[in-house]
């Protein structure tokens, strides 16, 4: 293994040591997960600690939702394959933006955002899907349930961080997590309405004007 102390000796074909990156470095953690550092944002330590904990849980769940969207984007099938394949990718992209906003909110409060997906998997409350393929309605239902889990937690978190004076986290949770999630849940749920595509299945009662118009 090449180390900083074992940089290659300079030669006609080797860059000088001043140009050599110092590779394979390791170091101790300089801030542990679950701690907050002091930042001059006029928000108490306790309020920032509480918000970071709630935001990190939403962050872990949203990372799982993003993963579920990509999985189901890839595994989609059936007569509406193309439409759903594209829709789920759009939703995944929007959720990835929410992931970034949540993580950066944690950092702006002095905390440490959940970054590694293996760490997120330890924290999340979103159930793990099977590694294989489920039928399309089951995949869509799984996504809807993940949305509802996140939305329920987000509503509670938004209220409680506001009670502690953290309007910025409240605004971020409401405007990004809740509004994005609600719209996406609507789009998904409409795909689970059993509606005929080419022929009406229920006959409407005759409208009085229909007869008058026909004379
Ligand atoms: Fe894709």
What is residue 51's predicted lDDT score, i.e. its pLDDT? 98
The CB density around residue 72, as the number of other CB atoms within 10 Å, is 24
* Residue 158 belongs to a domain: yes
How far is Cα 80 from Cα 88, in angstroms, rounded to an integer? Answer: 12
Handedness of CA 101, 104, 105, 108 (dihedral sign): negative
Strand partners, 14: 11
Residue 45 has pLDDT above 90, yes or no: yes
120 assigned to some structural domain: yes
**Does a structural domain hold residue 212?**
no
In a domain, 144, yes or no: yes
Whether 1 is covered by a domain: the verdict is: no
Does 83 map to a domain?
yes
Distance 8 CA to ligand 1 centre (A): 43
Distance 30 CA to ligand 1 centre (A): 37
Residue 2: per-residue pLDDT: 45
Question: In this predicted structure, what is the pLDDT of residue 46?
Answer: 98
Q: How large is the average pLDDT for residues 162-183?
A: 98
pLDDT at 7 exceeding the cut of 60: no
Q: Residue 148 and residue 134: Cα distance in Å, rounded?
A: 20
The alpha carbon of 26 and the centre of ligand 1 are apart by a number of angstroms equal to 35
Q: How confident is the model at residue 212 (pLDDT cuts 50, 70, 90)?
A: low
Overall average pLDDT of the 32-40 stretch? 97
Give the CATH number, domain containing residue 49: 1.20.1260.10
Range of the domain at 172: 44-192
Q: How many angstroms is it from 73 CA to the middle of ligand 1?
A: 7
Residue 18 pLDDT > 70: yes
Task: Note whether residue 97 is domain-resident.
Answer: yes
- Indicate the number of domains in the chain: 1
pLDDT mean over 121-141 = 98
For residue 123, what are its two tokens? 């924290």
């Amino acid at each position: 293994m090449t180390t900083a102390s074992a940089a290659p000796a300079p030669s006609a074909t080797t860059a000088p040591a001043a140009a050599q990156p110092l590779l394979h470095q390791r170091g101790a953690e300089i801030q542990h997960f679950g701690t907050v550092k002091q930042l001059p944002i006029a928000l108490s330590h306790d309020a920032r600690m509480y918000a970071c904990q709630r935001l990190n849980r939403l962050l872990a769940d949203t990372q799982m939702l993003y993963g579920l969207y990509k999985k189901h984007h890839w595994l989609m099938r059936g007569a509406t394959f193309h439409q759903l394949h594209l829709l789920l990718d759009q939703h995944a992209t929007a959720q990835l933006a929410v992931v970034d906003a949540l993580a950066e909110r944690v950092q702006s409060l002095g905390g440490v955002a959940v970054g590694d997906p293996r760490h997120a998997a330890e924290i999340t409350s979103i159930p793990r899907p099977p590694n294989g393929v489920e039928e399309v309605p089951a995949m869509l239902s799984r996504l809807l349930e993940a949305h509802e889990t996140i939305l329920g937690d987000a509503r509670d978190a938004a209220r409680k961080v506001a009670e502690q004076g953290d309007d910025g986290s409240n605004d971020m949770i409401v405007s990004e997590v809740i509004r994005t999630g609600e719209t996406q849940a609507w789009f998904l749920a409409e795909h689970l309405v059993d509606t005929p595509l080419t022929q009406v299945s229920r006959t409407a009662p005759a409208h009085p004007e229909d007869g008058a118009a026909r004379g």
